[in-house]
């Protein structure tokens, strides 16, 4: 259905083909999923770390319906909570022993008041995305070499995906994506939507003082990741074993 809509005569528009498939998948996801915003707040006391295992034991005994084990778990949990609270109280009290150490006193006040520093605020400058795009693409801007397509010799083996390569995919979309991937391989064209990557700038440190303080995290489309993995599997089959064994490994650093 999708290929027929994107075919004009003997030519299949791969961009339209891929766009219609991804749009239909997005529509199906929107129809069956519900988006909710959930706010979570940390409300765990510092001394709860020591009794977390006993909490799990109590819950397990309650789910199992064992009354004797539940009674024992509750008794151990109550005793552990009292001991943990006493230990935490002594640790807080130790911060105020000795009037000369103001830093430990400040740590004690922070523990009592549950003080947390304010999270760093996002830069509200509207020109930041454009500045980051120019910064990340600064090396490509200096490359003025025209892109040329290499024509392989006729005796070279052509990559082609088969039904055996789609075992990890859902049966409902395996045929469609197998067809799209094979058209992409035969025409040497990758759809634009698969080459589009979302860059998330993550601050390396706080506060951020320059564009180099952002670490770019690329979010590649999941369909492209599947395509790359399938192609990598076939490329490895064509390479000699000695070369395949070294793929994905970091060469050792020579001694100085």
pLDDT 10s digits, 60-100: 999 998 899 999 999 999 999 999 888 888 888 888 887 67
Cβ contacts of 15 within 8 Å, gap of 6 or more: 191, 192, 193
The Cβ-side half-sphere exposure at 126, using a 13 Å CA radius, reads 0
Tell me if 73 sits within 8 A of 61, measured CB to CB: yes
Least confident of 114-118, 144-148, 155-159, 182-186: 155-159
pLDDT 10s digits, 101-142: 788 888 888 878 777 777 656 666 778 778 887 887 777 766
- Indicate whether 230 pLDDT > 90: no
With a pLDDT cut of 90, the percent of the chain lying above it is 7
pLDDT 10s digits, 155-166: 555 566 665 555
200 compared with 172, residue with greater pLDDT: 200
pLDDT of residue 74: 92
Reduced DSSP (H G I as helix, E B as strand, rest coil) percent helix, strand, coil of the chain, to 5: 55, 5, 35
pLDDT classification of 197: cutoffs 50, 70, 90:
confident
Tell me if 5 sits within 8 A of 13, measured CB to CB: no
Helical axes 67-94 vs 52-64, angle rounded to 10°:
160
- Indicate whether 196 pLDDT > 90: no
* Gap between the Cα atoms of 2 and 91, Å rounded: 67
Cβ count near 165 (within 10 Å) = 18
Torsion on CA atoms 71, 73, 79, 83, rounded to nearest 10 = -170
Contacts from 141-150 at CB under 8 Å and sequence distance 24+? 149/188
Cβ contacts of 131 within 8 Å, gap of 6 or more: 211
pLDDT 10s digits, 31-66: 888 878 877 666 667 777 778 888 889 999 999 988
Looking at every residue in the chain, the average pLDDT score rounds to 78
pLDDT of residue 253: 44
- Indicate whether 169 pLDDT > 60: no
pLDDT of residue 152: 61
Query: Of the spans 101-105, 146-150, 151-155, which averages the highest pLDDT?
Result: 101-105
């Amino acid at each position: 259905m999708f290929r027929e809509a994107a075919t004009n005569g003997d030519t299949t528009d791969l961009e339209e083909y891929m766009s219609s498939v991804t749009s239909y998948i997005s529509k199906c996801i929107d129809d069956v999923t519900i988006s909710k915003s959930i706010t979570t707040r940390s409300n765990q006391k510092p001394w709860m770390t020591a009794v977390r295992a006993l909490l799990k034991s109590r819950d397990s005994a309650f789910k199992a319906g064992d009354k004797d084990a539940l009674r024992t778990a509750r008794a151990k949990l109550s005793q552990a909570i009292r001991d943990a609270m006493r230990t935490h109280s002594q640790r807080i009290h130790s911060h105020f022993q000795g009037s000369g150490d103001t830093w430990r006193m400040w740590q004690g006040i922070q523990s009592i008041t549950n003080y947390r520093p304010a999270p760093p605020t996002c830069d509200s400058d509207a020109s930041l995305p454009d500045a980051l795009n120019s910064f990340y693409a600064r090396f490509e801007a200096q490359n003025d070499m025209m892109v040329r397509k290499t024509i392989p010799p006729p005796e070279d083996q052509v990559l082609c995906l088969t039904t055996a390569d789609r075992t990890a995919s859902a049966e409902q979309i395996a045929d469609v994506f197998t067809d799209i991937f094979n058209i992409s391989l035969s025409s040497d064209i990758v759809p634009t939507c698969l080459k589009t990557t979302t860059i998330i700038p993550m601050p390396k440190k706080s506060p951020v003082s320059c564009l180099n303080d952002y670490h770019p995290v690329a979010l590649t489309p999941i369909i492209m990741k599947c395509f790359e993995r399938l192609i990598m599997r076939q490329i490895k089959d064509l390479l000699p074993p000695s070369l395949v064994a070294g793929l994905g490994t970091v060469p050792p650093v020579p001694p100085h």
